[in-house]
Structure 1
Amino acid sequence: MSIARKLQPDQGDRLLVIACGMIAREVLAVKEQLGLDHLDLTCLPAEFHFYPDRIAPAMDKAIEKAKADGYRYIFVGYADCGTGGLLDRVCEKHGVERMAGPHCFAFYQGMDAYAKVADDDMMSFYMTDFLCRQFDAFFMKPLGLDRHPELIKDYFGNYEKLVYIAQTDDPELDKVAEKAAKMLGLAYERRSTGYGDLTTELASAAHSR
C-alpha cells in the first residue's frame, strides 16, 4: 500500500510516515482529525505482522527510497513489533524516530495505561479494528482454522481472554470480536482506546519537522 506523493528534492518539507499496513486507516484518520495536510503515508505489507524478521530490512530499503525521492522528514509507524531491536538499528542508521513501545497493542492503549495492565494481559489475545475486519484473512485461513477447527486449542490453548482494543465504535466489529472470543473459548473484554499514543506521536512528528 502506498499513498505517498513522489517529491522532488526541493520539496522535502513534508513528513513521510512509513507505517505497518495494519495501521494505515488509523494514520489517515489521525491525519484528517488533526489537519496534518503535510503528512504523507506509505506502508509496508500488513502480513509482516506474522514475519517480524522482514520488517527491519524492508524499512531500511523504504527509508532509502524515501530519501532518494526527496523526503527529509521521515517517521516510522511501527513500534518494535517483534524485531528484537533490529528496527531500532535501522532507525539509528537513518536518524529517524519510531513509535514508542513494544507493539501497536501497547501504543493504542497508551504506554502509561499499557504499563498498568501488561502483567495481567500476559495471557490475553489482542484484537484491533484491523484484525476484526481481517479476522478470516489473518487468522482463520492462514492458521487453517476454517478447515481444521480442532487446531484452535493448539494455537490458543494458552490464552485466557480475548481483549478487543477498539479504535472506533462500530457494532459490526464488536460482533466479530465477540464471536471470535466465543469460537476460541476465551473470556471477552472490550477496551475503547481510540488511537491512543498514535495521535500524540504523529502530532509531535508533524510539528517537529
Structure 2
Amino acid sequence: MTSHTPPPVAPGLDDGALTVEGLSAPAAAPEGAPRVRLIACGALAREILALIRLNDWTHLDLKCLPAQLHLRPDLIPDAVEAEVRRARALGDFDAVKVIYADCGTGGLLATRCAELGVEMIPGPHCYSFFDGNEIFAARGDAEMTCFYLTDFLVRQFDAFVWRPMGLDRHPELRDMIFGNYTTLVHLAQVEDPELDAKAEEAAARLGLAHERRFTGYGDLAGFLARAG
C-alpha cells in the first residue's frame, strides 16, 4: 500500500467536537452523473473525505452521523435508517450507501440495511476493513490479546476510551479491563509522527506494548471506488 500524508482538515470537520455530520464533497458531480449519498460514521469522516478528494469522486456526497454513537451501538440502526429515509425523501440521489461496519450492533444494522435495500461496507468493525477484512480474519486467535486503535481513536483516546471506561476517575480499573491484553495495535491510515507518538503514549497509559501497523485506507478505498 502506498503511504498518505494527513489531508487538511475540512471546513466543519472537528474531531474534538465529536459531532461530525453534514459534510459533503466540495465539488458538484458532472451533469448527468449518478449522485450517491454516503451515510457514514463520523469517526470515518476524515478518511472518506481524503479519498473523495484524492480520487475526484465528485459524485459522492457524504453525510456523517455523530461519532459518539460508537458509545451506544444500539442506537446506530435507527439513526442510519432515519438518514436513509431522509436522503431518499430529498430525491437528489440515485443510490445510498452505508459506511458503517457491524460496529457492535450484533447483526441488527445489516438486517436493517437489507430491509431498506441499501448496501453497507462489509466487516465486523472498522479495524477489520481498514486492515482488510480477509487479512484481519486470517489473523484470528493470534491477536486475541490485541487492543486496536485507528487514527481517529488515537486522536480521541480520552473521549472514546479513557473517560468512557472510567479510567480518569478509577485508575484501578485499568488492570481489571486490560489485564488480559498484551499489545495496543495502532492501525495507521496515514503517515503522521504526531499520531504515532500519541499511540505510544496511549499504550503506555494502558500498560500495554505498542505496535504500529500501517494499513492505509484498506477495504474502504475499494468500497468507495465501486459506489456509483
Same fold (TM over 0.5): yes
Structure 1 residue corresponding to 2:168, chosen from 133, 138, 146: 146
> For 1:90 and 1:138, how far apart are their aligned partners in 2?
26
What does residue 137 of structure 1 align with?
A: 159
Structure 2 residue corresponding to 1:13, chosen from 12, 15, 34: 34
Aligned to 1:127, what secondary structure does the other structure show? strand
Structure 1 residue corresponding to 2:177, chosen from 149, 155, 164: 155
**CA deviation after TM superposition for structure 1 residue 72, in Å:** 2.8
Does 2:48 match 1:27?
A: yes
Matches within 5 A, 1:51-62: 51-62=72-83
Does 2:82 match 1:45?
A: no
Q: Which runs of 5+ in 1 are unaligned?
A: 6-10
What does residue 171 of structure 1 align with?
A: 193
**CA deviation after TM superposition for structure 1 residue 146, in Å:** 2.4
Aligned to 1:3, what secondary structure does the other structure show? coil
Q: What whole-Å deviation, never above 9, does each CA across 1:49-102 have from its counterpart, x for those lacking one? A: 121111111111110001001123111001111111111122112211111111
Q: Is the 8 A contact 1:15 1:73 kept in 2?
A: yes
What does residue 2 of structure 1 align with?
A: 22
**CA deviation after TM superposition for structure 1 residue 118, in Å:** 2.8
Q: Is the 8 A contact 2:131 2:219 kept in 1?
A: yes
Identity %: 52
**Which amino acid letter does the alignment assign opposite residue 13 of structure 1?**
P
Q: Is the 8 A contact 2:33 2:59 kept in 1?
A: no
Aligned to 1:80, what secondary structure does the other structure show? coil
**CA deviation after TM superposition for structure 1 residue 143, in Å:** 2.5
How high is the TM-score relative to the length of structure 1?
0.91
| Residues 72/93 of structure 1: CA separation in 2 closer, same or farther (3 Å cut) | farther
> For 2:74 and 2:82, how far apart are their aligned partners in 1?
14
The 10-residue stretch of structure 1 (148-157 or 63-72) with the greater mean CA deviation from structure 2: 148-157
What does residue 97 of structure 1 align with?
A: 119
Matches within 5 A, 1:121-132: 121-132=143-154
> For 1:122 and 1:162, how far apart are their aligned partners in 2?
11
Does 2:135 match 1:75?
A: no
Aligned to 1:2, what secondary structure does the other structure show? coil
Q: What whole-Å deviation, never above 9, does each CA across 1:119-144 have from its counterpart, x for those lacking one? A: 21222110010001111221222223
**Which amino acid letter does the alignment assign opposite residue 44 of structure 2?**
I
Does 2:137 match 1:115?
A: yes
What does residue 223 of structure 2 align with?
A: 201
**CA deviation after TM superposition for structure 1 residue 109, in Å:** 0.5
**CA deviation after TM superposition for structure 1 residue 12, in Å:** 9.2
The 10-residue stretch of structure 1 (96-105 or 181-190) with the greater mean CA deviation from structure 2: 181-190
> For 1:44 and 1:63, how far apart are their aligned partners in 2?
11
**Aligned-pair Cα RMSD in Å:** 1.8
Q: Is the 8 A contact 1:12 1:73 kept in 2?
A: no
Corresponding residue pairs, total: 202
**Which amino acid letter does the alignment assign opposite residue 125 of structure 1?**
F
**Which amino acid letter does the alignment assign opposite residue 163 of structure 1?**
V
Does 2:85 match 1:64?
A: yes
Aligned to 1:165, what secondary structure does the other structure show? strand
